[in-house]
Amino acid sequence: MRHALHALGRLKAGTMNKTEARYEAEVLAPLLQAKEILWYRFEGIKLRLADNTFLTVDFPMMRADGLLVMVDVKGAPGVITEDARVKMKVAADQYPFAFRFAWPLPRKQGGGWGGEEL
C-alpha cells in the first residue's frame, strides 16, 4: 500500500524539525566536539540571491580549515524541490562557500547520513 506524503505545516522560524535536530545531534555536535568544525548556527545566515530572493540554509558551519559550508537538511533525496535545488546552485555560483544537501539514510542501508555537494 502506498502512502501519500503530506506536509505537516511550517514550523516557526528558528525552530528545528526532527530531522534537523537529529542532524545537529548526530553530525554537527560530534564534529564540534572533535574540533573538526569551529562553529555552526541553525538558520544563522541569510544569503541574498536577487531582488526579493533569499536563501536561508539550515546549518551554515565553519570547518576547522576556515571553509564555510552551507548545509540544507532534507528528509530524503527525493524531497529536494526544484526551487531548493535552483536556489542552492545559484548561491553556489555567487558565494565562495561550499553548498550541500544532507539526508538520513535508511537503517537497511546502514543508517547514518547521505548527501550531495553542489
> Which of the two residues, 5 and 49, has the higher pLDDT score?
49
Q: Which residue has the cell 565562495?
A: 96
pLDDT at residue 65 is higher than 60: yes
Name the E strands within the chain: 37-40, 46-50, 53-56, 59-63, 68-73, 98-104, 113-117
* Contacts of 67 by beta carbon, 8 Å cutoff, 6+ apart: 97, 98
- Give the tens place of pLDDT for each residue, 51-64: 999 999 999 999 99
pLDDT score, position 8: 52
- The residues that bridge with 39 in the sheet, in sequence order, are 62
Please tell me the total number of residues recorded for the chain in this structure. 118
b/e 21-39 (16+ beta carbons within 10 angstroms → b): eebbeebbeebeeeeebee
